[in-house]
Amino acid sequence: MANRRISSLSSLGGTPNTADIIPITDVSDTTGSAQGTTKKVTVANLVAAAPQGDLLAANNLSDVANAGTSRTNLGLGTAATTASTDYASAFYNIVTKTTHYTLTNAENGKVIFCNSSGLIDITVPSGLTSGFNCRVVQGGAGRVRFLTSGTTINGYTSGSNAPNAVIGQHGVADLVPTGTNIYSLHGDINYLLVYSNVNSVNFDGTNDYFDPSSAISFTGVYTLSMWFKQTTDALGILAFGGSAYIEPSGSNGRVLVSGYSGGIHSATNSYTFGQWSHFMIARNSSNAVEAWVNGVSAGTGTNSGTATFSKFGIYGTSVQPFGGDLDEISLFDSDQSANIATIYNSGVPTDLTSLSPVNWYRMGDNDGATGTTITDLGSGSNNGTLINGPTFTTNVPS
Amino acid sequence: MSRKYVIINSDEVSSVNFDQVDETSESTLRYSLDGSKTFVKFDTDATPSFLDGKTQYSHSEILTILATDEWTDPNPPGE
């Protein structure tokens, strides 16, 4: 074939014949008879020299010595273990929890989707990776409570008798780091008081008493509930106001309700000296009054007009003050007679929040059992003072 | 340490340092029925100086004293 210019050659088809060659001339070679050395390059040479294979073909990740490490290093998680295009599990941002759960670093940056009709505790432990953050969502009807374990959630406490941070159904809260083991919560946060009764107040029977800042008065329906353990004298006063008083007599286990009821006197041995007992009195809209001792009706009476409770534990100077322990004093501007079984609770104080007390004196449980102030947890915000040295104790009804 | 009780005459109340006793104030003191006596209590081992030389009672002893007609109405309401 006569020499032809390259530009005069016909073009190849879509696929060259493997036997086709491309001539390469080394023009720097001047030693030959004809200047330059010419070699041939076949199509097979080109295929061998070119990069080849896709991600999941022969020379991909599955061929490396430690495929698991490779996937981890690439942030693929459990993805790419097969020739699949579904990488969702590696980048999935939502994890579902239906029971109490302690966060781990695996939840960093993710959404914790809670789904339960009951309470779910999400505990934030110490030692999570720096910058740990997550979003918590409640899809179920129950509440999600945030607890700490070696950590601090700014503005919130964690545990019993303290305002715990919670979210309700459809609530969303972001847990954001603000320091080492310190976080802030932002979102649909509410408070939840986790009830626990571990303190009461001891009155020495000489001159101790509890004095609400303002006398508590009712012109209509009302209820008084309180727990007492009489230990130091046969007589004493549980509550007093105006000319009315409630007087337990340890010598015969009877409780006299005078002034508040027209005179109710419980049966002999309705309570036991030296043991925790519960007393409740309620007036309904017809001015009918009923008293209960340890959940059992002590009698009925009638009383109208203003009923006042100004002091607890003392009557005046001529009557022996109460000697023993008082706990969980609560007053309602409602007739709670239908709830006597709930309030008495088989002899164990219970959370009264749902009954909406006007005054609720926990007698140390929400005051750290220190100082002389008893905070009113009811809607009345009528704090009281321990007068003449009553002391906190861990002796409680149980 | 145990709480101690001391009976004083009413005219000595002005000498009471209420920072050194458990009583809250002069207005919360409990007096004998004739008003001539009252008492104070303290928790510390060190007796407040204004009570030096006065008889100290234990809890059970003061309860016995306070239950007498001198301090408590022998005909209390109700019983």
Residue A65 has pLDDT above 80, yes or no: no
Per-residue pLDDT of A254-294, as tens digits, reads 999 999 988 899 999 999 999 999 999 999 999 999 999 99
- Residues in CB range of A82: below 8 A, 6 or more apart: none
| Residue A242 binned pLDDT confidence (cut-offs 50, 70, 90) | confident
- The residue extents of the domains of chain A are 20-89, 93-191, 200-393
The per-residue pLDDT for A85 is 55
Q: What CATH superfamily is the domain A93-191?
A: gp9 (2.60.120.640)
Report the residue from A315, A318, A389 with minimal CB separation from B33.
A318
Residues in chain B closer than 8 A to A204 (CB atoms): 3, 41, 59
Measured between beta carbons, the chain A residues lying within 8 angstroms of B73 are: 318-319
Q: Which of A202, A230, A318 to mutate to test the interface with B (most CBs of B within 10 A)?
A: A318
Does residue B4 have a pLDDT over 80?
yes
Task: Please tell me which of the candidates B28, B73, B78 has its beta carbon nearest to residue A388.
Answer: B28
Confidence of residue A233 (pLDDT cuts 50, 70, 90): confident
- Provide, rounded to the nearest whole percent, the portion of chain A with pLDDT above 90: 62
Residue A135, pLDDT above cutoff 60: yes
Interatomic CA distance for residues A335 and A292, integer angstroms: 13
Give yes or no for residue A1 having a pLDDT over 80: no
Residue A307 reports pLDDT greater than 80? yes
pLDDT digit string, tens, across residues B60-73: 999 999 999 999 88
Q: What is the mean pLDDT of chain A?
A: 86
Q: Is the pLDDT of residue A11 over 90?
A: no
Q: Which of A232, A249, A389 sits opposite B23 (nearest CB)?
A: A389
Res B33: pLDDT: 93
Nearest-CA distance from A317 to chain B in Å? 6
| Chain B closest-CA separation from residue A305 CA (Å) | 21
Q: d(Cα A244, Cα A259) in Å, to the nearest integer?
A: 4
The residues of A whose Cβ lies within 8 A of any Cβ of B are 204-207, 232-233, 235, 245, 247, 249, 256, 258, 315, 317-321, 323, 372, 385, 387-389
Q: Which residues of A touch B33 (CB under 8 A)?
A: 317-318
**Residue A380: which residues within 8 A CB-CB, separation 6 or more?**
A216, A331, A358, A359
Q: What is the pLDDT of residue A89?
A: 56
Which of A49-53, A84-88, A296-300, B1-5 shows the highest mean pLDDT?
A: A296-300
Q: What is the pLDDT of residues A123-134, one digit of tens each?
A: 999 999 999 999
Domain A93-191 and domain A200-393, same fold? Reply is: yes
Pick the range with the lowest mean pLDDT from A80-84, A208-212, A307-311. Answer: A80-84
Residues of chain B that touch chain A, judged by Cβ-Cβ distance less than 8 Å: 3, 5, 22-24, 28-31, 33, 39, 41, 43, 59, 62-63, 66-67, 72-73, 76-79
Q: What integer pLDDT is reported at residue A8 of this predicted model? A: 75
| B-interface mutation test, from A201, A203, A204, A206, most B Cβ less than 10 A away | A206
Look at residue A91 in the predicted model and tell me its pLDDT.
61
Task: Test B77 with A233 for CB contact under 8 angstroms.
Answer: no
Question: What confidence tier does A169 reach under pLDDT thresholds 50, 70, 90?
Answer: very high
What local confidence, expressed as pLDDT, does residue A74 receive? 63
Beta-carbon separation of A258 and B62 below 8 A = no
Give me the residue from A249, A320, A387 closest to B24, CB to CB.
A387
> How many angstroms separate the CA atoms of A34 and A217, rounded?
125
Q: Domain A200-393 is in which class?
A: mainly beta
- Chain A residue with CA closest to B33: the answer is A318
H/E element holding A299?
strand A296-302
**CB neighbours of A98 closer than 8 A, spacing ≥ 6?**
A114, A115, A116, A120, A140
Instruction: Answer for the pair A154, A165: CB distance below 8 angstroms, yes or no.
Output: no
- Taking residues A39-54, what's their average pLDDT? 67
Confidence (pLDDT) at B79: 44
Coil, helix or strand for B63? helix
- Rounded to whole angstroms, how far apart are CA atoms A85 and A56? 10
Min Cα distance B35 → chain A (Å) is 10
Confidence category of residue A183, pLDDT binned at 50, 70, 90: very high
Residue B56 binned pLDDT confidence (cut-offs 50, 70, 90) = very high
Min Cα separation A336/chain B (Å): 26
- Which of B7, B66, B70, B71 to mutate: most A Cβ within 10 Å? B66
Asked if residue A351 has pLDDT above 90, the reply is yes
- ipTM of this predicted complex? 0.95
pLDDT band at A6 (very low <50, low <70, confident <90, very high): low
Q: What is the mean pLDDT of residues A108-132?
A: 94
| Set of chain A residues whose Cβ sits within 8 Å of the Cβ of B31 | 317
pLDDT at residue A315, rounded to an integer: 84
CA distance A302 to chain B (A): 17
* Contact predicate A67/A61, CB 8 Å: yes
Q: Quote the pTM value.
A: 0.71
